[in-house]
Structures are given as structure tokens and as C-alpha cells.
């Protein structure tokens, strides 16, 4: 699940430009939606020799990976996503800080939707806890546009109904995508946050599957009107590629204050299989 992260980190550590000293405090938010395993053949997810069952959630493993990366000591390289420490956590989020040379504290907030990896637990004996967690994660994600410079979403697009932090809706044993397409709850809340007069975020990366198809028209209108950087994806994107892409986005934003060059870095690194597509419409800021 995480085979491409180390090569990506090594590539980031060698990449230019060199980190610049930030003149103001920055906060970046990485939101991990409820990322359920959904094999077409209906098989269970087996990870590290353990069977987690059908529709298992992988975001608990992803948040552990992100924690390991962020809290590593910094080596002698250009890598920026290192040397952080967890300064606050609750049932939904962890806030990481790192002190830089000018006394500022860049912050990375990590949100996640799934309570446990097991779908049967999250929708059975701990369903009430899971429902509360999903609702809180959704609120925190949408509120993050008011206090974060960069917001990243990793998870499922739900055929345009995402971002989503809750267990999948099932019908006849399969994910009921038509219900997501019809309601589009996650998309509606996202657009409300983007259009809010309270929005602070200067950049958005929606790294779930085929966000160019599902969200391009809506987010590009907001981006053009508000000079906001937006990065989307094309095609199906595996969980490990989404997470590695998110780490690259965090690193580049910390060093240059924008996502400029992210798609080129992804292509040049030859580590990720996903295709990141920067939305670049007239009037949109390109730093």
C-alpha cells in the first residue's frame, strides 16, 4: 500500500527550488475521507497478512503512514515534510507543528473519517461512534477552508457525491453510486465552503478519482473568480498514489507557498501512476 512513498520522499529531497523562509504562519490541512476498499470481484482486503473484510477502510493505515513521515527527523536534504511533532489531537484530527529558523510554526492538520479499518465494526457495534466521527470530520474539513492556506482531500469521489467521510452506502451488496450522484452532499458542502466570504485557503488539491470529470466545472469557476490554485486528477487513482501525491503537495507548498510545478514533479518523478491536472483557467493565480 505504501511502496512508492520512500522513492517519492527521496525525489522531493533532491528537488529544487530550495526552501524559502516563510514570512507568515501557514497551516495546511490534509483530509483523509472514508477510503473503503472496493474490489470489483467483491473480495476482502488483505493487508500485511490480515483479512480486514469487504469494504475495509484504508485511511487508518494512511494516517499512520502520514504520521510516520511528518515526525521523522529531518535529514540533510530539501525535504520539508519532516521534523514535525503532534501538539494536539482529538477523535478526528491531529495537529502537527514544526519550528523553523525565523521562529514561525508551520502547521499541518490531518483529518480522517474511518473509526477502524473494519467495515463490519464501523457499521455494527460502533456505528454510533462512526457516525459522529464522520459528521465531525466533514464539518472540520469544510471549516478548514477558513483557517488553512492549503486544503487537500484524499479519499473517494463517490461519483461526484464526495468528498465523503462516512462508510459507503450499499444497495444489494454494492456501493450505491446513484444515491451519491443524486444527492451530491459532499460536493454541495465543498462549494459552499469555497464560495464563503470567510475562506482563507489559497490552494485546493482534490486527489480522489477523476476529480477533473466530477468537479472541474464547479471548482474552476470558484478558482477563476477568487484566484485560487486548484489541482485535480484524471482517471482512477490508487490510495497509495493519492497519499504520496498529497505528501508532495504539502512539501511543495511549504517550500514555495504554492502548488506550482506539482503536476510536473509527479510526471518527472516516475513514481506515481496518477495523472494530476492543474486547473489553469484565465484569472487563476499561478505563483
Give dist(CA 201, CA 178) in Å, integer: 31
Quick one: pLDDT at residue 22? 59
Q: Which domain holds residue 52?
A: 26-279
Q: What is the CA radius of gyration of the chain?
A: 18
Cell of 164: 465523503
Look at the block and give the residue holding cell 473480495.
43
Please check whether residue 215 is in contact with residue 160, taking contact to mean a CB–CB distance below 8 angstroms.
yes
Cell of 123: 457499521
Give dist(CA 127, CA 22) in Å, integer: 43
3-state DSSP assignment of residue 93: strand
- Nearest CA-CA partner of 228 in 182, 269, 196, 180: 196
Q: How many CB atoms lie within 10 A of CB 225?
A: 13
Q: Is residue 18 domain-resident?
A: no
Quick one: pLDDT at residue 81? 95
Alpha carbon 143 to its chain's center? 15
Q: Is residue 2 domain-resident?
A: no
- Nearest CA-CA partner of 54 in 31, 35, 38, 71: 38
Q: Is residue 15 domain-resident?
A: no
Q: How many CB atoms lie within 10 A of CB 12?
A: 24
Cell of 250: 504539502
Low-confidence ranges of the chain (pLDDT < 50): 280-287
Quick one: pLDDT at residue 34? 98
Q: Provide the whole-model pTM.
A: 0.93
Quick one: pLDDT at residue 210? 92
Q: Is residue 9 domain-resident?
A: no
Cell of 151: 486544503
Number of domains in the chain: 1
Q: Is residue 19 domain-resident?
A: no
Q: How many CB atoms lie within 10 A of CB 10?
A: 15
C-alpha distance from residue 143 to each of 111, 136, 163, 265 (Å): 12, 10, 13, 29
Quick one: pLDDT at residue 21? 56
Contacts of 12 (CB under 8 A, 6+ apart): 78, 79, 80, 81, 247, 248, 251, 265
Quick one: pLDDT at residue 285? 42
Q: Is residue 14 domain-resident?
A: no
Q: Is residue 82 domain-resident?
A: yes
Q: Is residue 46 domain-resident?
A: yes
Amino acid at each position: 500500500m505504501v511502496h512508492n512513498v520512500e522513492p517519492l520522499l527521496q525525489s522531493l529531497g533532491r528537488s529544487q527550488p530550495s526552501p524559502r523562509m516563510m514570512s507568515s504562519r501557514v497551516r495546511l490541512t490534509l483530509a483523509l475521507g472514508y477510503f473503503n476498499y472496493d474490489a470489483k470481484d467483491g473480495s476482502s482486503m488483505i493487508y500485511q497478512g490480515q483479512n480486514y473484510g469487504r469494504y475495509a477502510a484504508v485511511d487508518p493505515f494512511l494516517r499512520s503512514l502520514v504520521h510516520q513521515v511528518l515526525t521523522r527527523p529531518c535529514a540533510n536534504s530539501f525535504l520539508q515534510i519532516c521534523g514535525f511533532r503532534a501538539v494536539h489531537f482529538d477523535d478526528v484530527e491531529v495537529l502537527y507543528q514544526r519550528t523553523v529558523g525565523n521562529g514561525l510554526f508551520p502547521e499541518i492538520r490531518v483529518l480522517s473519517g474511518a473509526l477502524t479499518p473494519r467495515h463490519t465494526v464501523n457499521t455494527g457495534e460502533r456505528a454510533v461512534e462512526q457516525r459522529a466521527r464522520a459528521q465531525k470530520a466533514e464539518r472540520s474539513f469544510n471549516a478548514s477552508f477558513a483557517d488553512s492556506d492549503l486544503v487537500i482531500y484524499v479519499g473517494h469521489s463517490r461519483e461526484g457525491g464526495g468528498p465523503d467521510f462516512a462508510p459507503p452506502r450499499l444497495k444489494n451488496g454494492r456501493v450505491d453510486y446513484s444515491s451519491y450522484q443524486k444527492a451530491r452532499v459532499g460536493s454541495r458542502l465543498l462549494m459552499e465552503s469555497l464560495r464563503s466570504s470567510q475562506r482563507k485557503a489559497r490552494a485546493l488539491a482534490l486527489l480522489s478519482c477523476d476529480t477533473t470529470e466530477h468537479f472541474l466545472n464547479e471548482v474552476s469557476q470558484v478558482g477563476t473568480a477568487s484566484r485560487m490554485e486548484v489541482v485535480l486528477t484524471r482517471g482512477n487513482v490508487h490510495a497509495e498514489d493519492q497519499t504520496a501525491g498529497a505528501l508532495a503537495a504539502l512539501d511543495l507548498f511549504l517550500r514555495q507557498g504554492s502548488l506550482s510545478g506539482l503536476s510536473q514533479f509527479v510526471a518527472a518523478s516516475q513514481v506515481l501512476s496518477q495523472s494530476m491536472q492543474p486547473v489553469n483557467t484565465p484569472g487563476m493565480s499561478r505563483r
